[in-house]
Structure 1
Amino acid sequence: MKYRRVGNSGLKVSEIGLGSWLTYGTAAEQEAADACIRKAFECGINFFDTANAYNRGAGEEAMGAALKPYSRSNYVLSTKVFFPMGEGPNDRGLSRKHIMEQCEASLKRLGMDYIDIYYCHRYDDQTPTDETLRAIDDLITQGKIIYGGVSEWSAAQIKEAAGISKRLNLHPLVSNQPIYNMFERYIEDEVLKVSEEEGIGQIVFSPLAQGILTGKYKPRTQIPQESRAANDNVNGVINSYLKENVLECVQDLEGIAQELDISLAQLSLAWVLRKQGISSALIGASRPEQIEENVKAVQVNLQADVLEKIEKTLKKVEGFAPLR
């Protein structure tokens, strides 16, 4: 495993991190979580990500239970706040009230004393940004979180937040968590540049495009019965990727991976990690073998001719934007 700093902070995270998967709290799913986290540690992964909104807290509970056997100083954990956690008008967003209450609730669900990175899960246009940042700063001062971050904020919003933090002498944000993969590249336009200027590192999610970039879905064939796309409870955005031109592009990318004697997933993760400013790529896993395969991506160095070939292949789906 290799490790990178998160932005300008001294915090180091594994280039591959492990994110929460959907969980409903069954014994079988907890066993899968335990097995995956055990394999992650064996492979050198030290970064784990969840959120309070993942099944209204069940994701945090599963992650906390799976991490319980390990020394707290040996891993970095992030969780998030923003999405509704109740039916009341103050049970959502980034108000000081909601942030403070949800941080306490997350700590209880995780069974931990502190959170390493606490993310504002989306931008809240109903709350002044300085109110949000002061609340995050106070949680840092109280020792309940160590660093603050944002997720899926625009370049302008990140710039605004950085300016407020400097003006008010608050702890700076250290991380942004955006989606980033071969098909969704909006952060390349402005977010990466602004974040680098402000010392903010990217910890990206969905680097395998909801599993599309593993090659399990083929053009002109039926969706595998055991796959996420076949499950109406969790397929979500993935179905918008299931277009013939996208799947044909994936097939071409798989050919490039075969020429390099690596898997398509490893090619896709190495492609994400090629970018300066990316601190870590978050994978999801339901089986330990998936982790073992994916972490090999950190050893893949894509040469200029391969990157050029990938770009030519991706031009076939230029302008593609999944429905959200």
Structure 2
Amino acid sequence: MSEREKAVIIGISGPSSSGKTTLARLLQRIFYGAKSAASDKRLNTFIIHEDDFYFPDDKYVEQNIHILHDTDTIRIPYTTTRSGATIQDWDTAAAIDLSFLSQALRYVRENGTLPPRLRSKEDQNDRTESGVTDEVINELKSLVESRLSATGENPTIAFLEGFLLFAPPAQQDHVLRPVHDAINLHVFLPAAYKLVKERREGRSGYVTIGPAPEPVESESKQADTEINAGEIDLEAEDDRPPQNFWVDPPGYVDDVVWPRYVGDHAWLLIADADENDASESLVGAEAEADLVRRVGDGTRVRTDVGVEIAPGAGGAEMDVVLRWAVGLILDYYLEQR
């Protein structure tokens, strides 16, 4: 990080239900308030949830957005499932205001605080028990404080958690490149298909932004919409619409969540993958099915592409992952000082 930057951003990614939010909350609890004996100041930390950057589920907010098509509004994208049902697709980059997210991350790095424009809805969603005891948390808090105690004034640590944060190393024009490059340390939590399905289908649903959407006539007008978003006034108050509640329709994990995850992360999940992996002889659903087959249960993850992979291939208990993450972040943070 440069001397003028006031925050380090730790990006925590992985498939739905892999423990990203739980880990971020534990890390924030452990690092927050660590005191420096050299400056008598305490470390500031906070969490940024990628889910807070979803577009509204009926229409995008029109201000500061220019659409290069024949419509002046966009919605969360729709997809047609194998059964022929047309449903919203929350598991694609097109559902996220990536311009807002990348601008917010730059703001955090430059100011060391969250922008006033960002108001989280994520904490209204269900919380799950972490399985980590207070004894372990207090032990790790002591470790953090002892290692940071002599470092003087410390930059803020922001924990960014989300299902779609990282870009392939050599693909500079990737849609997630501005987000990836705004992150200082990239942490990935693998999870097996069976675990993702079980946990995701066990959730009651998710708080969203905006009223329930009207049905759309077709998805063609929404596909691959190109948006040139201007600078967002991050100092303004959050004026996004009232909230709604999304419940996964039947089969959503198999029809949308898992295949989208596999397709977006083939470069990370397939050992011999190139960065645009998909057989040239296959297209559409066939190419998607081929990638799902090759990825298998999703626990084999590359370690040679600049992303730190949590231990246990998705099967480790949270206390094991937490200890690993604390050590990793401390080592990185101290190296940057």
Same fold (TM over 0.5): no
Q: Which has the higher contact order (CA 8 A, sep 6+)?
A: 2
Which is richer in helix?
A: 1
- Greater Cα radius of gyration, structure 1 or 2: 2
TM-score w.r.t. the length of structure 1 is 0.24
TM-score w.r.t. the length of structure 2 is 0.24
